[in-house]
Structure 1
């Protein structure tokens, strides 16, 4: 297929961005639990990254946040009365449920879905499956609205195929594209899909001891079947359990791939040699592995800086750019590795761009967490619904929108403020007009 580019759809940070420490196994999330957050700053940091990459020539899209607080969720759990009464009851009786209902975790759109481009699918359509995210209470609230958002954007049934999330059971725990990497010669060429799982729900492989592995092999296999991928197009690999116990809750915290390049830490896979051998066997293009040894970057430093949770982007001249969080620049071992091993190595990575996404990083999400990668041809991009492809005009409109609706700071006690509900709904109602997406939220649909 000609004219194919990878579009990175970044998630807009929602108005209830807060530090609740909800994600088990996410070291940064737990470390910053209970601190005051800055929703306006968080949203502007994300928008600045989107604008800068768009101006640099990379195709950039945007996905809206979820409706939060999720009052429907709280009402289903028995909290009754007015908005203020529901929030007050939840705050007094079950504050953990209130925090879950207010989570802005949909900003990390790497978990929104798994995507197969049309060049790989038997029916020639782009296939999308929203992740069920059943491993986390705060995240399992997302799939219904995520599916509605994706259907509004990828609306042309002749070009896009939508699948229901997998059954929300531990056996099919699915975390989306955070555990999926497509490797290929170029975005328009056929690719091989690397699915990384942490445990086998129906098998006997030993898992991590400290934290629960979020992705199952059974879920990865089911996604591949949904999308019509054959054995020759897929490689399944188990994530190293010691990495999970160190805080590598998704594979994109320890490895990132683009084109034929796989940048990974030596502790990324339980069987490194077998994983590389399978990729080499199935890829039509020679694999270019860029291995970072533990002696250069420890697992702790990898998790603290999110070196591998960076965006690896293709340039027209065949080179690649690595977009890293600012924390990488301030860690001597990581910065030295970037200069001496990655940039100076025999691979296409020729540039490092540093981006400040501190508000996201403090909740455990770097540049790669913030984006969902979708390879699209010219006709597929033209068929997208809404106004979701970033340019300066859309950036400026969204910056103005954030300024009108977002609070500068949000403390844990503010989550029970009824005014936060009014502010959030007003913001989302205006946002759907800016993005031209229609009634995607429950409150807009009478729910």
Structure 2
């Protein structure tokens, strides 16, 4: 049965702000305490989704999470009404209120790891929500992520949505940002590629400046629970020097699609051996491997990190040609722009490059690839997903009006203390669940 790769982008939430919560993410820390524009951020994301849908790609939507998270603040000892809790947290522990208010669930590349039915032992599409335990503001996401995924992929005969792994450092799991699938055609059996930064139990090189977030143990656990075969999985260690340069996830230095890997020459430990293992296992799946390796002489790691060249989307059009979706910052970096000008066609297997303005997300360290979760679906699986989550002219119009109605055009870290923001967020999300027809997935709706 024919299959396609759908991209499920995260809608930017009403509390989008720059609190600088993500140590190791250079852009996040560099823009700490600056003023954000949630309305512009949401509309930039919507325009990207709509343009890709107009180009013929299957484009889905994942909803934002309720923020600020009163549940987190209650767990941390704050008591009273919801409004009293927000006010007290703002006064006594603004750093905790900032964590509870983060809109980071917009970056759905971290929502889960997804394995298509062609790869799994039970023939279902498997989702493992990421525990994101390395950061407080993200570690609170997985429960709501699981609810949203089960509301959208609700047919249990076709989909399995797991709980997150235990939130311990030994099982640090950052989701699809450290996972890629290679194949000849999307409906064929593929090779799943897991990238990790450290191992709890096996010795190896580790970064010295910034922490490695993904563990080998978490990657192997996800592969086991998804029922993947050892002969069709590859586990590779991130280059620790790259992590120390700001490559906090693999998708900051590598991206893959179909049988093409687009990466920096300093992406992995023992990189040539990684290529060889991928080639051998892909050959068993009936496919070759095309590697487009960017040399340091052309683009250094600092350029890759600031431009997010590799935090791009590599997509297959229906005519078989591949396009690369990059942020505007790639055109503003002379070295990266020069590389892209010489990239298209030939041995690159990349036929076109499209540029998107995602400035609000980029300032927080999230590019095109961060904003989407890839889900390979065959025709029957796609039909079982509700129509309210697929981008089209009608849904775009409704969501654009929804953002215009509910979102602020200015939000500073100090504005998080405004208790009215909680009410604005809940009103917006309640209306959104009706637009998307996904039911009552939020705590305040229950």
The TM-score bracket by the shorter chain reads over 0.9
Aligned residues: 443
Q: SS at 1:432's partner residue?
A: helix
Aligned-pair CA distance for 1:427: 0.2
Which residue in 1 is equivalent to 2:13?
Answer: 14
Is 1:367 the counterpart of 2:368 in the alignment? yes
Note if contact 2:56-2:318 (Cα within 8 Å) is conserved in structure 1: no
Q: SS at 2:73's partner residue?
A: helix
Q: SS at 1:205's partner residue?
A: coil
Which residue in 2 is equivalent to 1:319?
Answer: 321
TM-score (norm 2): 0.98
Aligned-pair CA distance for 1:163: 1.4
More displaced stretch, 106-115 vs 116-125: 116-125
Give the whole-Å Cα distance in 2 for the aligned partners of 1:185 and 1:36.
45
Distance change in 2, residues 1:79/1:110 (3 Å): same
Give the whole-Å Cα distance in 2 for the aligned partners of 1:186 and 1:328.
29
* Structure 1 residues 262-277: aligned runs within 5 Å: 262-277=261-276
Q: SS at 2:314's partner residue?
A: strand
Give the whole-Å Cα distance in 1 for the aligned partners of 2:188 and 2:357.
33
Note if contact 1:240-1:270 (Cα within 8 Å) is conserved in structure 2: yes
Q: SS at 1:268's partner residue?
A: coil
1:295 counterpart (285, 294, 297): 297
Which residue in 1 is equivalent to 2:232?
Answer: 233
* Structure 1 residues 23-38: aligned runs within 5 Å: 23-38=22-37
Give the whole-Å Cα distance in 2 for the aligned partners of 1:215 and 1:77.
26
Q: SS at 1:317's partner residue?
A: coil
Aligned-pair CA distance for 1:90: 1.1
Which residue in 1 is equivalent to 2:112?
Answer: 113
Note if contact 1:116-1:128 (Cα within 8 Å) is conserved in structure 2: yes
Aligned-pair CA distance for 1:386: 5.6
Note if contact 1:20-1:33 (Cα within 8 Å) is conserved in structure 2: yes
Note if contact 1:257-1:263 (Cα within 8 Å) is conserved in structure 2: yes
Give the whole-Å Cα distance in 1 for the aligned partners of 2:23 and 2:299.
23
Alpha-carbon displacement from aligned partner over 1:190-226 (angstroms, at most 9, x marks no partner):
1101100000011211210001100000000000000
Aligned-pair CA distance for 1:42: 0.1
Which residue in 1 is equivalent to 2:210?
Answer: 211
Aligned-pair CA distance for 1:95: 1.2
Note if contact 1:153-1:386 (Cα within 8 Å) is conserved in structure 2: no
TM-score (norm 1): 0.98
Q: SS at 2:348's partner residue?
A: coil
Note if contact 1:318-1:348 (Cα within 8 Å) is conserved in structure 2: no
* Structure 1 residues 95-134: aligned runs within 5 Å: 95-134=94-133
Moved over 6 A (4+): none
Is 1:221 the counterpart of 2:220 in the alignment? yes
Which residue in 2 is equivalent to 1:304?
Answer: 306
Distance change in 2, residues 1:353/1:189 (3 Å): same
Is 1:387 the counterpart of 2:388 in the alignment? yes
Q: What is the alpha-carbon root mean square deviation over aligned residues?
A: 0.9
Is 1:357 the counterpart of 2:355 in the alignment? no
Aligned-pair CA distance for 1:344: 4.5
Give the whole-Å Cα distance in 2 for the aligned partners of 1:82 and 1:229.
47
